[in-house]
Structure 1
């Protein structure tokens, strides 16, 4: 082998919190509303125009004319408006390729407020303090942002290591800036590290086949047995959230049908959103740290191919055929959504690749019902949610149910029963024939 290193370009992202003045925050809100309105006008133009006259040039001309005719659309920088056009056409390409649904109208209350800055040279980033930096935002001015990671600026920036743009995003905790960073890094060599199967659960977030389970220490259920939907909040925050929800319900009782929310009710809802967003950030922080450790420790990570959308569907049913155990299923759906299994798999996918490892998916059916010691499925083995007891007379193995599933997941990979997605996009199962089930060790 040659001693020369192989290099590859990587597109990274870094999100930082902005410190805006009230005037700057209002200007930022105006730009976000203008960007959303530009998307809606572009969508109306595209859907109402005959197919023979639809083109990128015609849409660009329509946007330019709209910015001249509608004065408040001018608060959005021209490059940001062009970024909306580019994003809209990419959404249609994703639809045509079968990766997403058709682009639709963006409602004010359901859309994320965001503004794109497509060119990195407009940012003019400068570090002014150990904890703070300055960034230039078009038509806003110089704004401070929280410095938590070294960025390729100044003498550290070149054509291979640079910031190519940014995106301004608003959530319940305020405005943030997400930098798009392009770097040139040595391509990691394939790692021959240990293999591990991971089962995502509710009681145990990430159960590993080698017994090195990852738990965030926040129980999924309260002492009375009900699901804890606010487990990422401390006791004081839970008490505050309860008071705010009671206050919101009281103020909402005075609201007439189809009447606009009062400022007091809207303020209460904003405070509830802030607590929810804080809990989400804590959960994502734990997942980032945990998946980083797993990607650096193991060479091959095996997970289940789960259809989480179908797993969290409501059991309410219809009027003619009502569902059963609706409340229990609702609590389970809420717990699954809180654990964010799909986000954890996404993190593991790119982190294992960056560390030279691989991530493999295996079919999910019966991984939690099959005994990892004897390979048989017997009725009554799952007496409760946390324990697995094999009812086979020749086995009798018992252990943690999530650990048992993780061992089965690793065993499916070892016998070649893996999940692959061919070029056509249709999922198939690849299996090695002639291999009998055996204990996953």
Structure 2
């Protein structure tokens, strides 16, 4: 998504639920499968070239795609620019993450999606209070639920399937601009992300909510048991997986809404939002193999991974970055080392400062500072903005009276 700071244009997304006819739904499924084949074929070709020490990029692959369409007539069913956009997305992914890191698009696990990049070929009309329609190449007029006006000129459209429903995401030019300065330029807040409470601020605010109900948890567990008893590729397996996706779709929507609302509140009243620089993907990596000899530790690590992913740490970071475009807020990430063990009052660092998950009590002589552990960590995060957290425990102008523990991991333990 493009944006420029200082009164320059911001492109925004609008997502709507589609009401497709049976023919249109089949075409969307077909287009999605074609894009998946193009992605996987292009990725395989890139990997083969890299193994021989030769580079492959978008331009020659686009030319080969044109030749493939002459040899394989089924590729002509999809609009050309949709398949070309898939190759562009693959090219960008390989540049950002590496050819051998980019994942394959599985037929069973990947949700079909494809993008129409030509905004001049897309027309949006309102039909009434609840419904509108959009004209897409080869699909024709498609009806969608009018939940909000697009509010600008359409630049592109992405069609995707989620939880048994199809959606269209319009990228629009709504003439919004990023302010050169926040309305309250001297305000700042630190945010501590945890597994008990999703987000706690240095001002003492707690942001959290359940994303899955008890009944949904029970139903999902039963569906997992049913899935284990089904045969791969069977109709029953697809039916069970569809029910599971429906439940997880609701959970994802709640998490997305929570992160968006929290980000809007934080950026509206703070010119600076400070987060820990957490590598969520590394922190949630599987412990299998590395801790194979310690079965209980593997189970504990698996539970921690699920708790981190459930709270949506990375999604909140993305939501903050997106919301900051409209308020002029700066989002800064700082070194997470020992922010949960350091006393925000005197700077003393020791792992025994935390009496429990929620209670922080400084053990330094003459201090005795007591606070909620997450609030204390959020204050440390706020103070660390613009200051290097050194190996000796420096934090702004305060200095710890104790060296940081030797032989401990550099990342802070999630609270």
Q: Shorter-chain TM-score category?
A: 0.7 to 0.9
Residue 36 of structure 2 corresponds to 36
SS of 1:17's partner is strand
Q: 2:334 aligns with which of 350, 362, 371?
A: 362
Asked whether 1:246 is paired with 2:225, we answer yes
How far apart, in 2, do the equivalents of 1:174 and 1:269 lie? Answer: 14
Residue 164 of structure 1 corresponds to 155
- Specify whether residues 346 and 418 from structure 1 end up closer, same or farther in structure 2 by C-alpha distance, changes over 3 A only: farther
- Specify whether residues 177 and 318 from structure 1 end up closer, same or farther in structure 2 by C-alpha distance, changes over 3 A only: same
- Specify whether residues 235 and 56 from structure 1 end up closer, same or farther in structure 2 by C-alpha distance, changes over 3 A only: closer
How far apart, in 1, do the equivalents of 2:220 and 2:359 lie? Answer: 33
- The offset of 1:214, in angstroms, is 1.8
Question: Is residue 390–residue 396 contact of structure 1 (8 Å, CA) maintained in 2?
Answer: yes
Residue 207 of structure 1 corresponds to 200
1:85-164 matches, within 5 Å, as 85-94=87-96, 103=102, 105-152=104-151, 161-164=152-155
- Specify whether residues 139 and 245 from structure 1 end up closer, same or farther in structure 2 by C-alpha distance, changes over 3 A only: same
1:1-400 matches, within 5 Å, as 7-46=7-46, 58-94=60-96, 103=102, 105-152=104-151, 161-191=152-182, 192-216=185-209, 218=210, 232-249=211-228, 251-252=229-230, 255=231, 260-318=232-290, 321-322=293-294, 325-400=297-372
- The offset of 1:207, in angstroms, is 0.8
Question: Is residue 91–residue 102 contact of structure 1 (8 Å, CA) maintained in 2?
Answer: no
- Specify whether residues 317 and 391 from structure 1 end up closer, same or farther in structure 2 by C-alpha distance, changes over 3 A only: farther
- Specify whether residues 306 and 63 from structure 1 end up closer, same or farther in structure 2 by C-alpha distance, changes over 3 A only: same
How far apart, in 1, do the equivalents of 2:164 and 2:13 lie? Answer: 19
Under a length normalisation based on structure 2, what TM-score does the superposition of the two structures give? Answer: 0.85
- The offset of 1:46, in angstroms, is 4.9
Q: How many residues align?
A: 391
Residue 417 of structure 1 corresponds to 387
How far apart, in 2, do the equivalents of 1:319 and 1:203 lie? Answer: 25
- Specify whether residues 434 and 361 from structure 1 end up closer, same or farther in structure 2 by C-alpha distance, changes over 3 A only: closer
CA shift digits 1:162-190 (9 cap, x unpaired): 11111111222421111111243344131
Question: Is residue 388–residue 395 contact of structure 2 (8 Å, CA) maintained in 1?
Answer: no
SS of 1:145's partner is strand
How far apart, in 2, do the equivalents of 1:53 and 1:385 lie? Answer: 50
- Specify whether residues 57 and 376 from structure 1 end up closer, same or farther in structure 2 by C-alpha distance, changes over 3 A only: closer
Query: Which segment is superposed worse, 317-326 or 77-86?
Result: 317-326
How far apart, in 2, do the equivalents of 1:383 and 1:357 lie? Answer: 35
SS of 1:369's partner is coil
Residue 413 of structure 2 corresponds to none
- Specify whether residues 320 and 12 from structure 1 end up closer, same or farther in structure 2 by C-alpha distance, changes over 3 A only: closer
Question: Is residue 193–residue 297 contact of structure 1 (8 Å, CA) maintained in 2?
Answer: no
- The offset of 1:271, in angstroms, is 0.2
How far apart, in 1, do the equivalents of 2:285 and 2:48 lie? Answer: 35
SS of 2:379's partner is helix
- Specify whether residues 56 and 132 from structure 1 end up closer, same or farther in structure 2 by C-alpha distance, changes over 3 A only: same
Is there any run of 5+ residues in structure 1 with no aligned partner, and where? 1-5, 153-160, 219-231, 420-427
How far apart, in 2, do the equivalents of 1:77 and 1:397 lie? Answer: 65
How far apart, in 1, do the equivalents of 2:351 and 2:55 lie? Answer: 63
Question: Is residue 303–residue 361 contact of structure 1 (8 Å, CA) maintained in 2?
Answer: yes
How far apart, in 2, do the equivalents of 1:45 and 1:410 lie? Answer: 47
Question: Is residue 379–residue 391 contact of structure 1 (8 Å, CA) maintained in 2?
Answer: no
SS of 1:7's partner is coil
How far apart, in 2, do the equivalents of 1:86 and 1:379 lie? Answer: 48
- Specify whether residues 394 and 85 from structure 1 end up closer, same or farther in structure 2 by C-alpha distance, changes over 3 A only: same
Question: Is residue 124–residue 136 contact of structure 1 (8 Å, CA) maintained in 2?
Answer: yes
- The offset of 1:382, in angstroms, is 2.0
- Specify whether residues 237 and 51 from structure 1 end up closer, same or farther in structure 2 by C-alpha distance, changes over 3 A only: closer
Question: Is residue 113–residue 159 contact of structure 2 (8 Å, CA) maintained in 1?
Answer: yes
Question: Is residue 125–residue 134 contact of structure 1 (8 Å, CA) maintained in 2?
Answer: yes
Under a length normalisation based on structure 1, what TM-score does the superposition of the two structures give? Answer: 0.80
Residue 158 of structure 1 corresponds to none
